Amino acid sequence: MLFNSFTFVALVLVTLLLYYIPKFRSLQVQILIVASLTFYTWHNPYLLMLLLLSAGINILTSYKVVYGPPNRKKRNATLGVLANLFTLAFFKYSGLIALTFTENEAVGEFFLSIPLPIGISFFTFQGISLMVDVYKNSEKDRTDLVPKSLLKHAQRTLFFISFFPQLVAGPIVKAHDFLPQIKDKFLRDIDWQRCFRNIVLGYFLKMVIADNLKDYTFWISFPYFIDMDTITLLTVLFGYSIQIFADFAGYSLIAIGISRLFGYNLRDNFNFPYISKSFKEFWKRWHISLSSFLQEYLYYPLGGNRKGKYRTYINLMITMVLGGLWHGAAWSYAIWGAFHGVALAVERLITDAVKVRQIWILRFFKQIMVFSMVTFAWLLFKLPEFSHVIEYFKAMYTNASAYFNVDICTRVLIYTSPVILYHLIYTMRDTALWKRLHKFDFVLYGIMLFLIITNSGMPGEFIYFQF
C-alpha cells in the first residue's frame, strides 16, 4: 500500500476516526495494531506470519531479559539480537552470500529466489534496539519499557514493531524513544499545523519532485547513458541526488506527520543534508535515525573514538561498510559504505592535523565538495553493477560537448529547484528577511498543495522500500 494511494488515505482517515472516539480510548493501541497489520499485509497476507514471528521473538526474549533469571540476562539478550540478525540475513543476504562464496549455482539461485519482505531492514533493527535497551538500562528503566504483564508487553511490542507510518521505510525508532510515549491520546493535543506542514511537504517532495525526476534519472541505465553528453550525464546525476533525497525525506515527513496525528513523536530523519560542510556533518543530517542507530548500537560498543586513532578509523570503516550493506544485498552498497567510511576517516585525519580559519569561501567550497562527492557516490545505488559505474564515469569524461539534451536538462532543473530553494530557505532562517517572509509561508504550502493535485509524476515506489 503506497502512501500516495487512495486506499492509504482511506485507512488513515478511518483509523483516525475510530482512534479518537472517546468510547474507544482504551483500545487505541489495538486499533493501531489492526491498522498496521492491515497496511503491511494489504498486498501479501503471508507477510503477516513473518511480522508476527519477528514480534514474537522480540516479545519473549525481551521479557526474559527483564524478568528471567539474572544470570541468563546476557544470554537472552544475545539470543534476541542474533534472532533479529538471522532473520535479516536469511531474507536479505543469503543470496549474496551463496553467490559470492559457493560455487554451487543452484544453491545461489535458491537463496536468490527467497522474496525480500518489505520493511525487514527496519523492523529487525527496531527489535535489536529493544533487546539492547532492555539489557543495558537500569532496572527501573527496564521495567518501564517491559511491563510485568506479558500480554501488555506483547501488545506494546507488537505496536512498536508494526506501527504503520514507519513500518516499511522508517524512520528507525528506538525502543527507549517510543515505548514511553504509549498512553492515552487526545484529539485536543494534536498540533494540526505541524502535522499539515509535515504531510504537505512530504507529499510534495515525493509526488511532485521524486516521482517526476525518476522519469529522467531513468536514463542512468546501462547502456542508454553511453552516448549521452557530459552535461546531460552530470545533470541527470544531480537530478538523482535530489530525487533520492526528495523520495526518502518526503516519505519520512509523511510518516512523522501521520504519527503526530496519532500522538506519537518520531524524530526528524533529515535535516537539510545537502548543505553539509563535512561528511561528519552529512551523517548527522542524512537518515538521522539510521546513523544514530549505528552510532549507538554499533560504533560505541566497538569502542567509538575511545581506543586510539587507528582503532577509531577501523570502527568508522566497520560501521559504514555494515551501514552500506544494510541498504542492499549487493557489494556495490558495501563499496558505497566503504567510500563514506574512508571519507570520514580521511576528514578526521585532516581535521586533526590541519587547523584552518573557516572563512565563508572555504565553507562554501567544502559544501560543494561534500555535495559533489556524495552525489557521485549515489551512482552505486542507481547502478548496482560496479562496471556500469565505471562506464558512467568514462562516458562523462569522453563525451564532452558544447551541446546537451535541452529537454532532459531543463526539466531536471525545474524539478530540482524546489529542493534547492528548500535548502536555501533553511540557510536564511536566522535572517531578518526570512523572519518577515515567514508569516507568508502559507503561500508556499498552498502552491505545494496545488502542485500535488495537478503536477504529480507517475507513482513510483519509495526508493528505500527496496532496502
Partner 1 sequence: MIKKAVLISLLLFSGWTFILLKKPQISVTQNVWQENVSLAEHYIYDVKDVPNVIVGSSLSARIIMDSLPEFYNLSLGGQCIYDGLEIVSNRNEVPKRVFIEINGLEKELDETFKGVISHPLMRRLKASVPTFRADKQPLAFIGNYAKYFIATAHEKFVPPPGEGANVTSHDAPKESVFDKILAMKIAGRSKALDQELIDDRIAQLGSYIAELEARGVEIIFFETPIHADLQQLAMTEQIRDAARNNFSLKKYTYIPLPANIEAYQTTDGTHMTADDAAMFSHFFKLQVAPYID
Contact predicate 58/154, CB 8 Å: no
447 binds partner 1 (CB under 8 A): yes
Question: How far is 95 from 224, CA to CA, in rounded Å?
Answer: 28
Contact predicate 168/465, CB 8 Å: yes
In the complex with partner 1, which residue's Cβ is closer, 102 or 221?
221
Q: Which of 97, 414, 420, 421 binds partner 1 (CB under 8 A)?
A: 414
Cα dihedral sign for 411, 412, 416, 417? negative
Q: Which of 30, 193, 401, 427 binds partner 1 (CB under 8 A)?
A: 193
Contact predicate 20/263, CB 8 Å: no
- The CA R_g of the chain, rounded to the nearest whole Å, is 23
406 binds partner 1 (CB under 8 A): yes
Question: How far is 36 from 48, CA to CA, in rounded Å?
Answer: 10
400 binds partner 1 (CB under 8 A): no
Which range, of 55-63, 147-155, 269-277, 452-460, touches partner 1 by CB under 8 A? 452-460
> Which residue is catalytic, options 153, 176, 287, 327?
327
Find cell 548500537 and name the residue.
297
Q: What residues from 6 to 35 belong to the interface with partner 1 (CB under 8 A)?
A: 6
Contact predicate 178/160, CB 8 Å: yes
Q: Which residues contact 94 (CB under 8 A, 6 or more apart)?
A: 111, 114
116 binds partner 1 (CB under 8 A): no
369 binds partner 1 (CB under 8 A): no
Contact predicate 135/65, CB 8 Å: yes
Least distance (Å) between residue 447 CB and partner 1 = 7
192 binds partner 1 (CB under 8 A): yes
Q: Which of 14, 17, 150, 413 binds partner 1 (CB under 8 A)?
A: 413
Least distance (Å) between residue 212 CB and partner 1 = 7
Contact predicate 63/133, CB 8 Å: no
Question: How far is 288 from 173, CA to CA, in rounded Å?
Answer: 11
Query: Any catalytic annotation for residue 327?
Result: yes
Q: Which of 196, 376, 386, 426 binds partner 1 (CB under 8 A)?
A: 196
442 binds partner 1 (CB under 8 A): yes
Binding site for partner 1 (CB under 8 A): 6, 192-193, 196, 200, 208, 212, 215-216, 223, 226-227, 403, 406-407, 409-411, 413-415, 441-443, 445-447, 449-451, 453-455, 458-460
Catalytic residues: 327
